[in-house]
Every structure is written in structure tokens, then in C-alpha cells.
């Protein structure tokens, strides 16, 4: 969501809750059948055999906010601290950047990649692999502040050093496309597992599948992670019908009997999140688990069947989104869990303490637990999503 929709609430009381799944997990788990064979499934991740596989979700970092003044860069330094603290406290095996990595509509520069680099750096320098997907701010058009047209005029804008593919040296205000951002990340970072998805899904870009392989056989999948681009910025906030068909075809091809558990990641909540949401500002009661419930779900602009496609697969266990900075709950929806991540960055609206949703999986038998890990090292909102 936009920081222009700023909300300001008092800090929530952190709930430390352990809940047991009342939904989901109906299918038998475990690898064996189904192979990621030639569909571009990324296969670089693997269970160790000795410890669970842990993922940290970083949502809504919003690097580059107010890039032209002092306040913005200071927020980015604080975001660096959040990422570093959480990476050191949780030592995840993998990191997922869940969209709104940057606030492109605040970036008056020719190439926003330098802010993208800043966001992935804490993970990269620790040698932890990661993947990214796009939110509604990552390729948004520069929004000229109204006050720049007042008597005060346009302030002195700090143009960063030349970082552009095109060799532009000055502030261009032209923005950086999804393809450019992703290309830069993939080309320069061996630890990145991100992919530019099939061109037929354009303008959606961050559509790809990763396999977490069995500790016993690197070819055998134990979990599939699906990343979908939920739009926003340069095009409408929606998961297209073409993306749904792609998901159906791919999942059927690599996991035909739904024997391998599947987790889904995108940025903007689907309409189903509205159906399960606790009433705004009410306490979060079981079966939902979370600590902040301070705003309405801001869902995609339209929905053309993605939730039905997910419900049709017994292997799909949960969906994880960002976007709403004032929500961090998980609620069951039929046989799935719908979860928000946690606002991780100091950019973006809201003053709720920053943190990260952590996912922890065991391989055999498959289980999925989650909690929120805060910048200050505290943890809360434990929930068993699958056991």
C-alpha cells in the first residue's frame, strides 16, 4: 500500500499464541512422485537432513523512500538494521523478499537497482540464498510531489552516482522496469533464485517455481514454492487469468498427484483474505493467529479464479502476502491458511514495530510452523500451519 494512505496507531499488545491448525494439511505430505523436469523449476534448495528448513519473509521494505531528502536514507539505514538483526537471530536457510522492496514512486533516478542492491545486501553478505517478487511500488511511476510546484520549487535532488544500464548520469525520473530490476538481480547474484517468468505472462514478471529437494535425493522434491506477480505499479493489481492457467498447468505437470506440499507467495492479498479477516481493530481470535489487525484488507482489484485453482489442489497448504503493513495474522480459509507477512522496512506507512514472518518446515513427515520475529529479537504469534 502507499505511504500516502498513512495510518498511525498505538503499538499493539503482542500476543504470543500457539495454535493448532483447524484447516489445511489434508493431503499426505512427502516427496517421491513428481519432478521439476524441464519447466524451469529452480532446484537449488535442499533440506539438510539434520535440521528444519527455515525461511524469513521480508515484506514491504520500501527502500528509497523520499530519496531526495535526509529522512528517506535514514529510514533505509534502519531497515538495514532490521534485516541484519533478523538474519542473525533466525539464521534462515532462505529469504523471500515479498514485494515493495523499493518505493519506486519516490525515486527520481535513472536506475532504482542501487536501492534493490541495498535491500538484498544483508542477505547476500551472509551467504544466504534468496528470491524476490514484485509489489505495487517496485516499478511505480515517479510521483512528483505537489509541493515541488509551490513557491518553494523543486528541492536540490541528490542524484546518485551513475548506476544505469543505459549510462544515464543524471536524475531521469523515468523509473526502472520489473524486467530491468530482475535482470540486474539475477545477473549479478549467484545466490539469487529469482527468475523472470514466462514472457506470455507479461507484464507480470515474478512468476516462477522453486523446489526444495529431499535431503536423500537432490532430484526429488519435498516442497514446491510458487511465486506469482500480483501486479500493481505499472499495471493493475491482479493475478491474471493467464497466470492462473500457467499455475494449473505447471503444478499439474510437476506434482500431478499433489503428493508434494506446495506454498504460495505473492504481494497483494486476494479477496479471500477479506472473507477471513478479523473485524478491523478487533482482537485476533483463534483460529486466526497474529498480533496486529489495524486496517482493512487492501485486496487486488479483481479476481479471476486463483483461489479456486489453489483450493483444487490438496497439496497447497498456505498463501503468504505483504502489502497491508498493519496486518500480520494468519487465518484458515477452507483447507488453506492465508497469512500476512510482517512489515519489515522503515519505509512505507505505519509505525508498528518491524519484523519478519518466519516459516519453518520439516521434511519427513512434512510440517510447517510459523512465527513473527521482531527487530528487537522477540518472537510471537506462533502458529502450526501444517503437521
Which stretches of the chain bind Zn ion, using CB under 5 A?
60, 100, 348
| Residue whose CB is less far from Zn ion, 60 or 360 | 60
**In whole angstroms, what is the distance from residue 60 CA to residue 367 CA?**
27
| Residue whose CB is less far from Zn ion, 59 or 310 | 59
E strand or H helix that includes residue 121: helix 113-125
Rounded least distance, CB 69 to Zn ion, Å: 20
**In whole angstroms, what is the distance from residue 341 CA to residue 330 CA?**
9
Question: Terminal CA-to-CA distance of the chain, rounded, Å?
Answer: 33
Quick one: cell of 114?
A: 542501487
| Residue whose CB is less far from Zn ion, 60 or 229 | 60
Quick one: cell of 328?
A: 500480520
288 backbone dihedrals φ, ψ, rounded to 5°: -70, 150
| Residue whose CB is less far from Zn ion, 41 or 294 | 294
- On whether the CB atoms of residues 38 and 383 are closer than 8 A, the answer is no
Rounded least distance, CB 309 to Zn ion, Å: 25
| Residue whose CB is less far from Zn ion, 46 or 62 | 62
Rounded least distance, CB 290 to Zn ion, Å: 17
| Residue whose CB is less far from Zn ion, 90 or 100 | 100
Quick one: cell of 323?
A: 502489502
**Residue 128 CA: distances (Å) to CA of 95, 121, 287:** 7, 10, 33
Rounded least distance, CB 137 to Zn ion, Å: 6
| Residue whose CB is less far from Zn ion, 100 or 180 | 100
**In whole angstroms, what is the distance from residue 123 CA to residue 138 CA?**
19
Rounded least distance, CB 90 to Zn ion, Å: 22
Rounded least distance, CB 164 to Zn ion, Å: 25
- Side by side, the strands of the sheet bearing 130-132 are 130-132, 94-97, 53-58, 355-362, 367-374, 379-386
Sequence-ordered list of residues with C-beta below 8 angstroms from that of 345, at least 6 positions apart, any chain: 58, 60, 61, 62, 63, 75, 79, 82, 100, 354
Residue 289 forms beta bridges with which residues? 330
**In whole angstroms, what is the distance from residue 249 CA to residue 376 CA?**
43
| Residue whose CB is less far from Zn ion, 60 or 90 | 60
Rounded least distance, CB 348 to Zn ion, Å: 5
Rounded least distance, CB 60 to Zn ion, Å: 4
316 backbone dihedrals φ, ψ, rounded to 5°: -80, 120
Amino acid at each position: 500500500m502507499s505511504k500516502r494512505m498513512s495510518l498511525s496507531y498505538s503499538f499493539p499488545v503482542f500476543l504470543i499464541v500457539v495454535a493448532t491448525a483447524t484447516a489445511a494439511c489434508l493431503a499426505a505430505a512427502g516427496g517421491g512422485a513428481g519432478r521439476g523436469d524441464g519447466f524451469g523449476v529452480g532446484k537449488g534448495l535442499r533440506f539438510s537432513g539434520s535440521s528444519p528448513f527455515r525461511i524469513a519473509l521480508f515484506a514491504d521494505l520500501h527502500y528509497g523512500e523520499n530519496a531526495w531528502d535526509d529522512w528517506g536514507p535514514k529510514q533505509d539505514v534502519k531497515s538495514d538494521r532490521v534485516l541484519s538483526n533478523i538474519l542473525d537471530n533466525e539464521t534462515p536457510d532462505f529469504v523471500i523478499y515479498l514485494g515493495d522492496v523499493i518505493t519506486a514512486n519516490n525515486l527520481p533516478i535513472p536506475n532504482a537497482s542501487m536501492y534493490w542492491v541495498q535491500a538484498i545486501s544483508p542477505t547476500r553478505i551472509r551467504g544466504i540464498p534468496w528470491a524476490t517478487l514484485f509489489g505495487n511500488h517496485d516499478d511505480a511511476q515517479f510521483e512528483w510531489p505537489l509541493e515541488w510546484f509551490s513557491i518553494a520549487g523543486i528541492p536540490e535532488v541528490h542524484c546518485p552516482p551513475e548506476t544505469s544500464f543505459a549510462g544515464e548520469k543524471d536524475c531521469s525520473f523515468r523509473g526502472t522496469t520489473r524486467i530491468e530490476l530482475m535482470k540486474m538481480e539475477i545477473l549479478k547474484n549467484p545466490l539469487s533464485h529469482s527468475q523472470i517468468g514466462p514472457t506470455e505472462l507479461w507484464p507480470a514478471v515474478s512468476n516462477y517455481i522453486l523446489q526444495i529437494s529431499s535431503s536423500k535425493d537432490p532430484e526429488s522434491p519435498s516442497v514446491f514454492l510458487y511465486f506469482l506477480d500480483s501486479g500493481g505499479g505499472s499495471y493493475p493489481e491482479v493475478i491474471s487469468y493467464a497466470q492462473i492457467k500457467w499455475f494449473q498447468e505447471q503444478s499439474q505437470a510437476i506434482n500431478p498427484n499433489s503428493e508434494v506440499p506446495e506454498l504460495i507467495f505473492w504481494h497483494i492479498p486476494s479477496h479471500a483474505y477479506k472473507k477471513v479477516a478479523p473485524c478491523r481493530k478487533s482482537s485476533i481470535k483463534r483460529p486466526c493467529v497474529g498480533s496486529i489487525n489495524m486496517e482493512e484488507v487492501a485486496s487486488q482489484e479483481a479476481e479471476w479464479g486463483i483461489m479456486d485453482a489453489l483450493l483444487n489442489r490438496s497439496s497447497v497448504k498456505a498463501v503468504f502476502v505483504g502489502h497491508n503493513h498493519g496486518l500480520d495474522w494468519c487465518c484458515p480459509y477452507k483447507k488453506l491458511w492465508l497469512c500476512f507477512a510482517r512489515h519489515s522496512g522503515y519505509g512505507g506507512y505505519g509505525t508498528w514495530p518491524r519484523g519478519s514472518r518466519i516459516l519453518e518446515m520439516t521434511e519427513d513427515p512434512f510440517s510447517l510452523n510459523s512465527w513473527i520475529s521482531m527487530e528487537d529479537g522477540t518472537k510471537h504469534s506462533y502458529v502450526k500451519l501444517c503437521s
